[in-house]
């Protein structure tokens, strides 16, 4: 992610359109706002558009606007989102969901820097930087003829891949503490820390929902932790649809897409179990690798090899002399 943001810093001064690719929830809109805020357009508007949420029959009127009487129900003129972003950045989230006819009109608008609202022949000049996002591979969509090739090349002078959270586990402690602190502050609660055992559970999770899922988990942890508590413990970290009913009873698991993980290949389940147990052992021994290996009856060399394989950061589990978790 340091490489991603370094690239965004270099691209900020350019006018080139950018496509951000990555799984749902990895933070594509965060990256788009970062790009806008560091650009010469930062004083202009940042207009986010969820293309997947716009009904097909409304896509063109939403993007290009319309004049009064352009169609039944158009009782007043409306500025389109492209014109609303004039002088700033238009962020088209899930651009691959745009209807084919709208893709053609968008291409003409981007190429010419002009928009023509529905119901008029007059064109209006716009100056907009286009940043798009998709959870698909846009070039694969072109190959499958679901997205226009000419538009893909026009909106994607640069393609940036944002990796999923499971591939950047070293960031989880910082993200978890930041998200927890934000929610704790919003609720007016005093400071909350995350125990090493709870952090180990967070780092062992695969996060199919990425940063968005982590945000929801930390919001729920802040809400579920008793008012007098000063730490979020492992029982306060609710994953895979787990909903705790009582602190003295096991949690009830409600049906969720995550419960299908039990049908993963056995090799993946074994891998996840080994990683989870290693992290719990490190949490128990406060980062003492030799002691953690002994608890698991695992050869020290094998333990070190798997730490590297699973990208486990031992500093997460070490404590300072005061006994507080390492930050």
Which pLDDT tens digits describe the chain residue by residue (327 residues)? 888 999 999 999 998 999 999 999 999 999 999 999 999 999 999 999 999 888 888 888 889 888 887 777 777 888 889 999 999 999 999 999 998 888 988 998 888 888 888 888 888 899 999 999 999 888 889 998 899 999 998 998 899 999 999 999 889 999 999 999 999 888 888 888 999 889 998 988 989 999 999 999 999 888 888 888 888 988 888 886 554 444 444 444 343 344 334 445 666 667 777 877 787 788 778 888 998 888 888 888 888 888 888 878 777 676 533 343 443
Take residue 302 and report the two structure tokens written for it: 């094998």
Could you tell me which residues come within 8 angstroms of residue 168 by beta carbon, excluding any fewer than 6 positions away? 1
Which has the closest alpha carbon to 132: 64, 48, 63, 212? 48
Q: Tokens 């930050």: give the residue.
A: 327
Instruction: Indicate if the alpha-carbon torsion angle 276, 260, 238, 174 is positive or negative.
Output: positive
CA distance 233 to 240: 17
Q: How many contiguous H segments (helices) and E segments (strands) does the chain have?
A: 13, 13
CA distance 106 to 92: 11
- CA distances for 98 relative to 154, 155, 246, angstroms: 15, 13, 46
What is the phi/psi pair of residue 153, to 5°?
-70, -30
CA distance 284 to 197: 7
pLDDT at 326: 40
CA distance 236 to 243: 10
Element housing 6 (H / E): helix 2-11
Take residue 140 and report the two structure tokens written for it: 């694969």
pLDDT at 91: 96
Domains of the chain: 2-163 (3.40.50.300), 166-316 (1.10.8.60)
- Tell if the pTM clears 0.75, that is, is over it: no
Which has the closest alpha carbon to 258: 278, 272, 279? 272
pLDDT at 319: 56
pLDDT at 323: 40
């Amino acid at each position: 992610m340091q490489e991603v943001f370094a690239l965004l810093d270099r691209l900020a001064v350019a006018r080139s359109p950018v496509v951000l690719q990555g799984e749902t929830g990895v933070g594509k809109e965060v990256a788009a706002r970062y790009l806008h805020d560091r650009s010469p357009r930062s004083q202009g508007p940042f207009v986010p558009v969820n293309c997947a949420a716009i009904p097909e029959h409304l896509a063109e009127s939403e993007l290009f606007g319309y004049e009064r009487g352009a169609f039944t129900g158009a009782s007043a003129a409306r500025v389109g989102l492209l014109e609303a972003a004039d002088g700033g950045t238009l962020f088209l989230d899930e651009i691959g969901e745009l209807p084919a006819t709208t893709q053609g009109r968008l291409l003409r608008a981007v190429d010419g820097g002009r928009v023509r609202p529905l119901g008029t022949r007059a064109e209006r000049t716009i100056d907009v930087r286009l940043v798009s996002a998709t959870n698909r591979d846009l070039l694969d969509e072109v190959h499958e003829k679901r997205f226009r090739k000419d538009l893909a090349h026009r909106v994607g002078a640069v393609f940036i891949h944002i990796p999923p959270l499971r591939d950047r586990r070293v960031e989880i402690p910082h993200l978890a503490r930041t998200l927890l602190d934000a929610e704790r502050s919003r609720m007016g609660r005093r400071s909350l820390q995350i125990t090493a055992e709870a952090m180990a559970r967070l780092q062992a999770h695969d996060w199919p929902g990425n940063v968005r899922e982590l945000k929801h988990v930390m919001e729920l942890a802040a809400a579920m932790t008793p008012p007098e508590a000063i730490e979020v413990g492992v029982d306060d970290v609710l994953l895979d649809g787990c909903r705790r009913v009582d602190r003295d009873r096991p949690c009830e698991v409600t049906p969720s897409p995550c419960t299908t993980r039990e049908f993963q290949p056995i090799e993946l389940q074994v891998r996840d179990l080994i990683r989870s147990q290693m992290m719990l052992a490190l949490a128990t021994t406060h980062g003492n690798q030799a002691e953690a290996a002994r608890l698991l009856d695992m050869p020290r060399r094998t333990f070190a090899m798997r730490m590297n394989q699973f990208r486990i950061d031992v500093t997460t589990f070490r404590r300072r002399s005061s006994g507080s978790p390492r930050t």
